[in-house]
Amino acid sequence: MNDRALRYFLAVVRTGSVRGAAEALNVAASAVSRHISEMEAECGENLLERLPRGVVPTEAGRIVAQHAQRQADEAALLEDNLKRLRGVQQGTIRLTCGAGFLVDLLDNGLANFVTAYPGISFQVSLGTTDSVLSAVAQGDTDIGLAYNPPAHPDVRGVVSARQPLLAVLPKDHPLAGSSTPVGLRTFASEPVVLLPSDHGVRQLLGRVEADGGFRLVARLETASFEMHRRFVTAGLGVAFLPRFAVAAELQTDAVTVLPLLDPVLSEASAHLVVRSGRRLPEAMGRLLGWLTEHLVAFQPQR
């Protein structure tokens, strides 16, 4: 299988259609189809299952896609090594993270790293826990930052740190200043801000609600973590976030936090992940080390 055919096939798997792959690659759809047909003839297996609205890889197709991704990774690593041999350190590192990591990533991660590696640029995308894992596993991103992710066979953790989900309170809240942990049920009758149901944090809260037989009253539902922080600082109600997501507000005493008793919330953790089996270019490895050392999300809880 030649490199072009593998590249075309990987694009089809990623986009879910021949037409989508052709658009992404800026080639004719007929050329993509021809290469896929030739690959299937060479393998003696169907690599794609044709559905009414696109395609998905068969078991053989998944094996070929994994091979194609390894080939792409090795090509990128070769290019990186040759550039370093010439004294050139350039490239783009792709990161996908939950929105709660964004301030920490920019302020404590990328801000100083770029000084040491001025030739490196970054692409940062936001996503839910599931979409972060999917992007890493499929090779659509290089590094993922996820909150309390489930195990994934194609993703390996670089570092993790316990980051309990906390109640984030306005400064004038009756429980502000208290350090005694309370159960989530304590806030069942108070106005709160919640993430949409596809977010990992909301799913954690939902498990506690279901087990306890109560419901939180959402005055506001939004995927914007900035609005969660503003909701609290405006005195509108309570939010539920890990400490690293409100580190700046805690430094300025704009909010206060209270530990939650519920085990599923107190044992949550932050994770830095990459694709399993991938050999990483030097700059990416150094960035992983930098993020591990400097992000608030991965520092021990005091």
Per-domain residue ranges of the chain: 3-69, 89-162+269-298, 165-266
Which CATH code for domain 3-69?
1.10.10.10
Give which of 295, 1, 251 is closest to 161, Cα–Cα.
295
CATH of 165-266, one of 3.40.228.10, 3.40.190.10, 3.40.50.300, 3.10.180.10: 3.40.190.10
- On whether the CB atoms of residues 8 and 39 are closer than 8 A, the answer is no
pLDDT at 193 over 80: yes
Residue 274, pLDDT score: 94
Helices (H), 177-271: 200-212, 225-233, 247-251, 263-266
pLDDT at 7 over 90: no
The C-alpha angle with vertex 273 and arms to 206 and 81, in degrees rounded to 5, equals: 160
- On whether the CB atoms of residues 265 and 164 are closer than 8 A, the answer is yes
- On whether the CB atoms of residues 184 and 262 are closer than 8 A, the answer is yes
Residue 190, pLDDT score: 94
pLDDT at 225 over 70: yes
Radius of gyration for the alpha carbons in the chain, expressed in angstroms and rounded: 22
Residue 74, pLDDT score: 80
Confidence of residue 139 (pLDDT cuts 50, 70, 90): confident
Q: Average pLDDT in the 39-60 region?
A: 86
The helix (H) or strand (E) run that includes residue 54 is strand 54-57
165-266 has the same fold as 3-69 = no
Q: What is the mean pLDDT of the chain?
A: 89
Beta bridge partners of 192: 218, 238
Confidence of residue 10 (pLDDT cuts 50, 70, 90): confident
**Mapping DSSP to helix (H, G, I), strand (E, B) and coil, where does residue 106 land?**
helix
Helices (H), 157-298: 200-212, 225-233, 247-251, 263-266, 282-294
pLDDT at 276 over 80: yes
What is d(CA 127, CA 98) in angstroms, rounded to the nearest whole number? 5
The CATH class of the 89-162+269-298 domain is alpha beta
Residue 194, pLDDT score: 96
Buried b (16+ CB within 10 A) or exposed e, 219-257: ebeeeebeebbbbbbeeebbbbbbbbbbbebbeeeebbb
Residue 88, pLDDT score: 43
Q: Average pLDDT in the 121-130 region?
A: 91
Q: Which residue has the tokens 């539902």?
A: 221
Integer angstrom CA distances of residue 181 from 63, 130, 174:
49, 29, 14
- Helix count (H) and strand count (E) of the chain? 12, 12
